[in-house]
Amino acid sequence: MASEKPTCRWGIVSTGFIASWFVDDLALDRPDANVKHVIQCIGSSSLEKGEAFAAKHCPNSKPAIYSSYAEVYADPDVDCVYIGTPHSFHKQNCLDAIAAGKNVLCEKAFTINAREAREVFEAAAKKGVYVHEAMWLRHRPLVADLTKLLHQDKVIGDVFRMSSDFGFYMDIAGLPETSRLKDPKLGAGTLLDIGVYSLTWAILALDPDSPKNSQTPKLLAAQTQKNGVEVLSSVILHYPSSGRQGMITSTTLSDAPSDVVCRILGTEGYIDVTGLAPSHPASFTVYTKKKDGGGFEEASRSNYTDIGHGFVHEADDTALDIAAGRKESPIMPWKETIRVMEMMDEIRKQGGTKYPQDDE
Ligand SMILES: NC(=O)C1=CN([C@@H]2O[C@H](COP(=O)(O)OP(=O)(O)OC[C@H]3O[C@@H](n4cnc5c(N)ncnc54)[C@H](OP(=O)(O)O)[C@@H]3O)[C@@H](O)[C@H]2O)C=CC1
Ligand SMILES: O=C1OC[C@@H](O)[C@H](O)[C@H]1O
């Protein structure tokens, strides 16, 4: 007898941009997938928004539409709550979902700072529920293949340096005052929004023991603020035990001038990861030192095609974790989320970016 696929019934909190992409991907018809996703309900600040969202993004599903997030948490048919609100609401949304006994997948940046993240995980531990930061980059097959080549097969020898720049032009001055990208109370700034991907690439490239036994590098950071919003972050990471270094940046002052989203250098060659942005890698090419003479030659190229928008991997992994009774994602465990938040706290401390929540 064929065994039933694990099924995850999702409660969606908010109807913004990223919630729409996540739900588009949950709604994909994927007969070959090893899990089944059900869009059980959608909670929004308004019933009309929720209804329009469902009609557009999951027209073949019949989710319950609620005009509050509380009704999502209270729905007995929800296995996992997906949180797609601005960063500043993540802590309270997570705490409310956890208090109702729900498992949670919450967008990056997980919270505003490490203190808030610890508070959420402490509540999850007490309640015995699953909580997972939706750092979707770590779930991509490209990342699994690349990190194996780097750290197990050592295709470019000993890695000693990496760089990753996330440039995404935004006319911050022209945005409404209430935009999450402009209002510091909502966590505006490049580091938490896009710099977190450059930082993730640094960890993936330089720390072979992440996420199980990650090391914390020394950090040297600078940030630039315009009209009270951080628009440029530059960070040098230095892992004292290996001597490895990373240079990462994020900015809304300009788009990135190249499609190289991460470059990793080793003693025997280098790897260029290319794509739309550090959050959207599509290919990587391994270049190795030429046998005779100087220079490098292409050794291999690996191309990946997104399924939908690319969120199926984190959604499937979450459903499988919950079905297996895990409380943490082995790909993004609690300790790793806290460590990333601590690193971003330190970068902000050095760079002079403070959020109102830091004083709470
Ligand atoms: N993984 C990824 O690739 C991406 C992740 N993100 C992350 O997702 C989160 C949301 O980003 P994004 O979708 O771009 O944001 P949007 O502004 O597009 O949507 C946020 C939604 O949150 C709800 N909300 C509740 N309170 C507020 C408030 N005071 N101001 C604005 N919205 C509010 C609204 O939904 P409603 O009215 O229905 O309740 C709103 O539509 C962020 O943490 C961001 O970092 C964002 C983009 C890409
Ligand atoms: O997570 C993200 O990745 C893509 C960016 O466009 C977006 O602002 C950010 O939140």
Locate the domains of the chain by residue range: 7-135, 141-303
CB-based pocket (< 6 A), ligand 1: 14-18, 44-45, 49, 84-87, 89, 107-109, 134, 136, 180, 193, 279
Q: What is the pLDDT of residue 3?
A: 63
pLDDT digits (tens, 9 = 90+) for 3-15: 689 999 999 999 9
Q: Superfamily assignment of 141-303 in CATH?
A: Dihydrodipicolinate Reductase; domain 2 (3.30.360.10)
Rg of the chain over CA atoms, in angstroms? 21
Closest ligand 1 atom, CA of 85?
22
Same fold for the pair 7-135 and 141-303:
no
Q: Is 168 in the pocket of ligand 2 (CB under 6 A)?
A: yes
**Crossing angle of helices 334-351/196-206, nearest 10°?**
120
**Looking at the predicted structure, is the pLDDT value of residue 292 above 90?**
no
pLDDT digits (tens, 9 = 90+) for 125-143: 999 999 999 999 999 999 9
Separation CA 144–CA 122 (nearest Å) = 29
**Looking at the predicted structure, is the pLDDT value of residue 98 above 90?**
yes
Closest ligand 2 atom, CA of 193?
10
Q: Is 112 in the pocket of ligand 2 (CB under 6 A)?
A: no
Which CATH code for domain 7-135? 3.40.50.720
Q: Is 170 in the pocket of ligand 2 (CB under 6 A)?
A: no
pLDDT digits (tens, 9 = 90+) for 54-81: 999 999 999 999 999 999 999 999 999 9
Q: Which residues pair with 351 in a beta bridge?
A: none
What's the CA-to-centroid distance between 250 and ligand 2, angstroms?
Answer: 11
Question: How many Å separate Cα 28 from the centre of its chain?
Answer: 21
Strand segments, DSSP code E, in the chain are 7-13, 36-43, 64-66, 80-83, 103-107, 131-134, 159-167, 218-226, 229-239, 244-251, 260-266, 269-277, 280-289, 296-303
**Looking at the predicted structure, is the pLDDT value of residue 100 above 50?**
yes
pLDDT digits (tens, 9 = 90+) for 9-46: 999 999 999 999 999 999 999 999 999 999 999 999 99
For the segment 163-189, the average pLDDT, to the nearest whole number, is 97
Q: What is the pLDDT of residue 2?
A: 53
What's the CA-to-centroid distance between 190 and ligand 2, angstroms?
Answer: 9
Q: Is 191 in the pocket of ligand 2 (CB under 6 A)?
A: no
Closest ligand 2 atom, CA of 107?
1
Is-contact 269 282, C-beta < 8 A?
Answer: no
Separation CA 61–CA 40 (nearest Å) = 8
Q: Is 328 in the pocket of ligand 2 (CB under 6 A)?
A: no
Q: Is 279 in the pocket of ligand 2 (CB under 6 A)?
A: yes
